[in-house]
Amino acid sequence: MSGFLTCFAREWHLALRRSGDLLTVVMFFAITLSLFPFGLGADKALLQQTAPAIVWVVAMLAVLLNLDSLFGRDERSGMLDQILLAPLMSLEYAMAKWLVSWLLTALPLVVMTPVMTLLYFLPGPQTLLLVLSLLLGTPSLTSLGLLAASLALGARKGSLLVPLIALPLMIPVLIFGVGAVTLSQQQMNAASAWYALAGLACLLLPLSLGTASLALHHNRS
């Protein structure tokens, strides 16, 4: 546990020192989301209808932006070797990475969503639903991103490989995330979608952390 806290403190400090990277993600999210209303035109009904899917897809892409450096930077600096040799479980290291990545990359996107949905004329209750679905769904996105980053480690074109691994795996999360919002919008029974979203988060977190900590050991040649 103390290993986790030590790693968490390091990741946290490093992430805040590299605040430019974090800002890039937030700016990408804001700018991309503001492009769609220009392209789609001021059709209020169309914007309201497409908003959940657009916000979800852009959030998925934004989460992928910094994944290359998640383990890549530690690998290039030699830090990863030393972490693997330290009296520390690689699971604790992966957990710290996950938590900092979710708190500082995914959570700001969730927080920004109510502002961005103003451009889509999305009413308050529906914005709340969208925020809730992102709150439940982004942990899964971070998990899958971490998984992909650990598997692509050591590959020569790692930065291209990460989205190729992560995006297809994110499709179920996208389906249930958008489904939960649109079904609730249409006053239909959305409980199963919400449960599926929560279930995916519970399933993917331990699965990705376990796989990532194994992959870190195996990609060392």
**Chain positions contacting other proteins, by CB under 8 A:** 2-3, 6, 9-10, 13-14, 17-18, 76-79, 81-82, 84-88, 220-221
* Residue 7 or 129 having the CB closest to other proteins: 7
CB of 35 to other proteins, least distance (A): 32
DSSP character string of the chain: -HHHHHHHHHHHHHHHHTHHHHHHHHHHHHHHHHHHHHHH-S-HHHHHHHHHHHHHHHHHHHHHTTTHHHHHHHHHHTHHHHHHHSSS-HHHHHHHHHHHHIIIIIHHHHHHHHHHGGGGT--HHHHHHHHHHHHHHHHHHHHHHHHHHHHTTT-TTHHHHHHHHHHHHHHHHHHHHHHHHHHHHTTS--HHHHHHHHHHHHHHHHHHHHHHHHHHHHT--
CB of 220 to other proteins, least distance (A): 5
CB of 9 to other proteins, least distance (A): 8
151 vs 159: CA distance, rounded Å:
11
CB of 7 to other proteins, least distance (A): 8
* Residue 92 or 106 having the CB closest to other proteins: 92
- Tokens matching residue 205: 């977190």
CB of 209 to other proteins, least distance (A): 19
- Tokens matching residue 187: 């006053």
**Opening angle at CA 20, ends 17 and 23, nearest 5:** 120
CB of 2 to other proteins, least distance (A): 7
* Residue 16 or 27 having the CB closest to other proteins: 16
* Residue 41 or 78 having the CB closest to other proteins: 78
* Residue 21 or 159 having the CB closest to other proteins: 21
* Residue 16 or 31 having the CB closest to other proteins: 16
